[in-house]
Amino acid sequence: MEQDNKIQQQRELIEEKESFGAAMGTLMTTTEKFDAVLTASVVPWETYERLAERAWTFRWDVAELAAATDQVEFETQQLEQAWAVAQLEMQSNASGSVYEAVIDSLGGGFVRSVLDNESCDGGESVLGCVYENDPLVVHFDAAENTQPFMTDEIRTGIAYHEFAHVLQFTNPEASEVAVTSFGGDWEVMADCFALTYLPGWALDHVVWTSSHEYWEVSIGHGVTCSEPQRQAVRDWYGQVGVQPQTIGTEH
Protein backbone atom coordinates (compact mmCIF):
# COMPACT_ATOMS: atom_id res chain seq x y z
CA MET A 1 0.00 0.00 0.00
CA GLU A 2 2.79 2.37 0.99
CA GLN A 3 4.58 1.40 -2.18
CA ASP A 4 1.49 2.22 -4.26
CA ASN A 5 1.26 5.64 -2.68
CA LYS A 6 4.86 6.39 -3.49
CA ILE A 7 4.39 5.33 -7.08
CA GLN A 8 1.27 7.45 -7.31
CA GLN A 9 3.10 10.46 -5.89
CA GLN A 10 5.94 10.02 -8.31
CA ARG A 11 3.54 9.77 -11.21
CA GLU A 12 1.88 13.02 -10.15
CA LEU A 13 5.23 14.67 -9.83
CA ILE A 14 6.27 13.58 -13.31
CA GLU A 15 2.98 14.81 -14.75
CA GLU A 16 3.29 18.14 -13.00
CA LYS A 17 6.87 18.58 -14.24
CA GLU A 18 5.67 17.86 -17.74
CA SER A 19 2.86 20.40 -17.38
CA PHE A 20 5.34 22.99 -16.22
CA GLY A 21 7.68 22.22 -19.11
CA ALA A 22 4.83 22.44 -21.61
CA ALA A 23 3.62 25.75 -20.15
CA MET A 24 7.14 27.17 -20.30
CA GLY A 25 7.43 25.96 -23.90
CA THR A 26 4.23 27.79 -24.83
CA LEU A 27 5.50 30.92 -23.12
CA MET A 28 8.80 30.78 -25.02
CA THR A 29 6.94 30.28 -28.33
CA THR A 30 4.81 33.31 -27.50
CA THR A 31 7.91 35.44 -26.88
CA GLU A 32 9.11 34.74 -30.44
CA LYS A 33 6.45 37.09 -31.80
CA PHE A 34 8.15 39.92 -29.91
CA ASP A 35 11.49 39.66 -31.71
CA ALA A 36 11.07 42.99 -33.47
CA VAL A 37 9.57 44.86 -30.52
CA LEU A 38 11.80 47.78 -29.51
CA THR A 39 10.49 48.26 -25.99
CA ALA A 40 12.44 45.39 -24.47
CA SER A 41 10.82 45.50 -21.05
CA VAL A 42 7.54 44.29 -22.60
CA VAL A 43 8.96 40.77 -22.21
CA PRO A 44 9.98 40.34 -18.53
CA TRP A 45 12.68 37.68 -18.85
CA GLU A 46 13.73 38.01 -15.20
CA THR A 47 10.22 37.01 -14.12
CA TYR A 48 10.38 33.93 -16.34
CA GLU A 49 13.81 33.07 -14.97
CA ARG A 50 12.45 33.35 -11.43
CA LEU A 51 9.57 31.00 -12.28
CA ALA A 52 11.98 28.45 -13.73
CA GLU A 53 14.12 28.72 -10.59
CA ARG A 54 11.07 28.24 -8.44
CA ALA A 55 10.02 25.11 -10.33
CA TRP A 56 13.55 23.77 -9.91
CA THR A 57 13.68 24.56 -6.19
CA PHE A 58 10.32 22.86 -5.60
CA ARG A 59 10.81 20.03 -8.07
CA TRP A 60 9.70 17.48 -5.42
CA ASP A 61 6.57 19.37 -4.44
CA VAL A 62 3.49 18.79 -6.59
CA ALA A 63 1.50 21.73 -5.21
CA GLU A 64 4.33 24.20 -5.65
CA LEU A 65 5.01 22.96 -9.15
CA ALA A 66 1.34 23.37 -10.03
CA ALA A 67 1.39 26.93 -8.69
CA ALA A 68 4.47 27.72 -10.79
CA THR A 69 2.73 26.28 -13.85
CA ASP A 70 -0.28 28.53 -13.21
CA GLN A 71 2.01 31.54 -13.06
CA VAL A 72 3.73 30.66 -16.30
CA GLU A 73 0.32 30.36 -17.96
CA PHE A 74 -0.62 33.74 -16.52
CA GLU A 75 2.54 35.27 -18.00
CA THR A 76 1.65 33.80 -21.41
CA GLN A 77 -1.80 35.40 -21.19
CA GLN A 78 -0.22 38.72 -20.29
CA LEU A 79 2.00 38.58 -23.37
CA GLU A 80 -0.83 37.54 -25.65
CA GLN A 81 -2.91 40.41 -24.34
CA ALA A 82 -0.08 42.91 -24.78
CA TRP A 83 0.29 41.71 -28.36
CA ALA A 84 -3.43 41.98 -29.11
CA VAL A 85 -3.67 45.46 -27.60
CA ALA A 86 -0.66 46.61 -29.63
CA GLN A 87 -2.19 45.38 -32.89
CA LEU A 88 -5.38 47.32 -32.14
CA GLU A 89 -3.39 50.39 -31.15
CA MET A 90 -1.43 50.25 -34.40
CA GLN A 91 -4.58 50.10 -36.50
CA SER A 92 -6.38 52.95 -34.84
CA ASN A 93 -5.49 56.57 -34.36
CA ALA A 94 -8.05 57.31 -31.70
CA SER A 95 -6.98 60.90 -31.14
CA GLY A 96 -6.47 61.61 -34.84
CA SER A 97 -3.23 63.34 -33.93
CA VAL A 98 0.19 63.48 -35.52
CA TYR A 99 1.58 62.61 -32.11
CA GLU A 100 -0.30 59.34 -32.01
CA ALA A 101 0.50 58.48 -35.64
CA VAL A 102 4.23 58.94 -35.05
CA ILE A 103 4.29 57.07 -31.74
CA ASP A 104 2.22 54.21 -33.20
CA SER A 105 4.56 53.82 -36.12
CA LEU A 106 7.77 54.08 -34.07
CA GLY A 107 6.51 51.93 -31.21
CA GLY A 108 4.69 49.25 -33.19
CA GLY A 109 1.57 49.83 -31.09
CA PHE A 110 3.31 49.01 -27.80
CA VAL A 111 3.56 52.65 -26.79
CA ARG A 112 0.50 54.77 -26.06
CA SER A 113 0.32 58.50 -26.50
CA VAL A 114 -1.97 60.81 -24.59
CA LEU A 115 -2.62 64.49 -24.97
CA ASP A 116 -3.18 65.81 -21.49
CA ASN A 117 -2.24 68.45 -18.96
CA GLU A 118 -0.12 66.29 -16.71
CA SER A 119 2.52 68.53 -15.27
CA CYS A 120 5.68 67.02 -16.62
CA ASP A 121 8.74 67.76 -14.50
CA GLY A 122 10.36 70.95 -15.69
CA GLY A 123 7.34 73.18 -15.34
CA GLU A 124 5.74 75.30 -18.02
CA SER A 125 6.49 75.06 -21.72
CA VAL A 126 7.36 71.40 -21.41
CA LEU A 127 5.98 69.87 -24.58
CA GLY A 128 5.89 66.26 -23.53
CA CYS A 129 7.31 63.69 -21.17
CA VAL A 130 7.66 60.03 -20.33
CA TYR A 131 7.65 58.77 -16.74
CA GLU A 132 10.24 56.19 -15.84
CA ASN A 133 7.71 54.17 -13.83
CA ASP A 134 5.19 54.18 -16.71
CA PRO A 135 7.50 54.13 -19.73
CA LEU A 136 5.03 52.87 -22.34
CA VAL A 137 2.95 56.05 -22.24
CA VAL A 138 4.05 59.35 -23.77
CA HIS A 139 2.34 62.46 -22.42
CA PHE A 140 2.03 65.40 -24.80
CA ASP A 141 1.04 68.70 -23.31
CA ALA A 142 -2.46 69.71 -24.40
CA ALA A 143 -1.95 73.43 -23.74
CA GLU A 144 1.32 73.65 -25.67
CA ASN A 145 -0.33 71.76 -28.49
CA THR A 146 -2.59 74.75 -29.19
CA GLN A 147 0.23 77.32 -29.33
CA PRO A 148 0.22 79.33 -32.56
CA PHE A 149 3.70 78.09 -33.48
CA MET A 150 2.76 74.44 -33.21
CA THR A 151 3.02 72.67 -36.56
CA ASP A 152 2.84 69.02 -37.52
CA GLU A 153 6.55 69.11 -38.31
CA ILE A 154 7.30 70.27 -34.77
CA ARG A 155 4.87 67.74 -33.27
CA THR A 156 6.67 65.01 -35.19
CA GLY A 157 10.06 66.11 -33.84
CA ILE A 158 8.73 66.23 -30.29
CA ALA A 159 7.29 62.73 -30.73
CA TYR A 160 10.69 61.41 -31.89
CA HIS A 161 12.38 63.02 -28.88
CA GLU A 162 9.84 61.49 -26.47
CA PHE A 163 10.05 58.12 -28.15
CA ALA A 164 13.79 58.13 -27.46
CA HIS A 165 12.93 58.46 -23.75
CA VAL A 166 10.63 55.43 -24.05
CA LEU A 167 13.51 53.42 -25.50
CA GLN A 168 15.91 54.71 -22.83
CA PHE A 169 13.62 53.53 -20.04
CA THR A 170 12.67 50.21 -21.61
CA ASN A 171 16.22 49.32 -22.63
CA PRO A 172 18.20 50.44 -19.59
CA GLU A 173 21.39 48.46 -20.18
CA ALA A 174 22.01 49.51 -23.78
CA SER A 175 20.99 53.06 -22.90
CA GLU A 176 23.43 53.38 -19.99
CA VAL A 177 26.22 52.67 -22.46
CA ALA A 178 24.90 54.97 -25.19
CA VAL A 179 24.36 57.95 -22.91
CA THR A 180 28.06 58.09 -22.10
CA SER A 181 28.54 59.50 -25.62
CA PHE A 182 26.42 62.44 -24.43
CA GLY A 183 28.22 63.06 -21.16
CA GLY A 184 25.33 61.35 -19.38
CA ASP A 185 22.76 63.82 -20.75
CA TRP A 186 19.60 61.86 -21.57
CA GLU A 187 17.93 64.91 -23.11
CA VAL A 188 20.70 65.68 -25.59
CA MET A 189 20.68 62.01 -26.50
CA ALA A 190 16.91 62.14 -27.11
CA ASP A 191 17.36 65.24 -29.29
CA CYS A 192 20.06 63.38 -31.19
CA PHE A 193 17.69 60.50 -31.87
CA ALA A 194 15.28 62.93 -33.57
CA LEU A 195 18.12 64.63 -35.45
CA THR A 196 19.44 61.26 -36.66
CA TYR A 197 16.21 59.56 -37.67
CA LEU A 198 13.81 62.34 -38.66
CA PRO A 199 14.87 63.65 -42.08
CA GLY A 200 15.23 67.42 -42.16
CA TRP A 201 14.75 67.84 -38.42
CA ALA A 202 16.52 70.72 -36.68
CA LEU A 203 16.24 72.12 -33.17
CA ASP A 204 15.60 75.70 -34.28
CA HIS A 205 12.53 76.64 -36.29
CA VAL A 206 11.05 79.76 -37.77
CA VAL A 207 7.27 79.45 -37.96
CA TRP A 208 5.34 82.08 -39.91
CA THR A 209 1.87 82.62 -38.53
CA SER A 210 0.97 85.35 -41.03
CA SER A 211 2.69 87.23 -43.85
CA HIS A 212 4.37 89.55 -41.39
CA GLU A 213 4.57 87.57 -38.18
CA TYR A 214 6.81 84.69 -37.24
CA TRP A 215 7.91 82.76 -34.21
CA GLU A 216 11.42 81.56 -33.53
CA VAL A 217 11.00 78.24 -31.81
CA SER A 218 13.72 76.12 -30.28
CA ILE A 219 12.76 72.56 -29.54
CA GLY A 220 14.91 70.49 -27.26
CA HIS A 221 17.98 71.21 -25.24
CA GLY A 222 20.08 73.39 -27.48
CA VAL A 223 22.80 70.94 -28.50
CA THR A 224 22.91 69.66 -32.06
CA CYS A 225 24.79 66.39 -31.84
CA SER A 226 27.99 65.57 -33.67
CA GLU A 227 28.47 62.80 -36.22
CA PRO A 228 30.14 60.45 -33.68
CA GLN A 229 27.18 61.03 -31.38
CA ARG A 230 24.78 60.22 -34.20
CA GLN A 231 26.71 57.03 -34.77
CA ALA A 232 26.33 56.21 -31.06
CA VAL A 233 22.57 56.69 -31.46
CA ARG A 234 22.53 54.42 -34.52
CA ASP A 235 24.48 51.73 -32.66
CA TRP A 236 22.08 52.04 -29.73
CA TYR A 237 18.96 51.93 -31.92
CA GLY A 238 20.36 48.82 -33.57
CA GLN A 239 20.71 47.12 -30.20
CA VAL A 240 17.49 48.00 -28.43
CA GLY A 241 14.53 45.66 -28.37
CA VAL A 242 13.47 42.28 -27.09
CA GLN A 243 16.42 39.88 -27.14
CA PRO A 244 15.61 36.18 -27.39
CA GLN A 245 16.74 34.35 -24.25
CA THR A 246 16.81 30.81 -23.03
CA ILE A 247 15.23 30.17 -19.68
CA GLY A 248 16.26 27.69 -17.02
CA THR A 249 18.49 25.24 -18.85
CA GLU A 250 21.52 25.54 -16.62
CA HIS A 251 20.43 22.79 -14.26
Type of residue at 97? S
d(CA 206, CA 204): 7
Which of these ranges, 10-18, 142-150, 187-195, 234-242, lies near Zn ion under the rule CB under 5 A?
187-195
Nearer to Zn ion, 97 or 168 (CB): 168
What is the smallest separation between the CB atom of 244 and Zn ion, expressed in angstroms? 30
Which of these ranges, 87-95, 174-182, 184-192, 201-209, lies near Zn ion under the rule CB under 5 A?
184-192
Site for Zn ion in 188-207 (CB under 5 A): 190
What is the smallest separation between the CB atom of 86 and Zn ion, expressed in angstroms? 24
Q: Give the helix ranges, DSSP H, for 33-126.
A: 45-57, 62-91, 98-107
# binding residues, Zn ion (CB under 5 A): 2
Q: Which burial class, exposed, middle or buried, applies to 244 when counting CB atoms under 10 A from its CB (0-12, 13-18, 19+)? A: exposed
Q: Yes or no: say if 233 and 225 are a contact pair by the CB < 8 Å rule.
A: yes
Which of these ranges, 90-98, 173-181, 185-193, 234-242, lies near Zn ion under the rule CB under 5 A?
185-193
Q: Which residues contact 201 (CB under 8 A, 6 or more apart)?
A: 156, 157, 160, 194, 195
Nearer to Zn ion, 121 or 227 (CB): 121
Site for Zn ion in 37-56 (CB under 5 A): none
Identify the H or E element spanning 125.
Answer: none
Question: Which residue(s) pair with 251 in the sheet?
Answer: none
d(CA 39, CA 95): 22
What is the smallest separation between the CB atom of 196 and Zn ion, expressed in angstroms? 15
What is the smallest separation between the CB atom of 141 and Zn ion, expressed in angstroms? 12
Nearer to Zn ion, 185 or 187 (CB): 187
d(CA 174, CA 168): 8
Nearer to Zn ion, 38 or 188 (CB): 188
Nearer to Zn ion, 73 or 187 (CB): 187
Nearer to Zn ion, 138 or 190 (CB): 190
Q: Which residues bind Zn ion (CB under 5 A)?
A: 187, 190
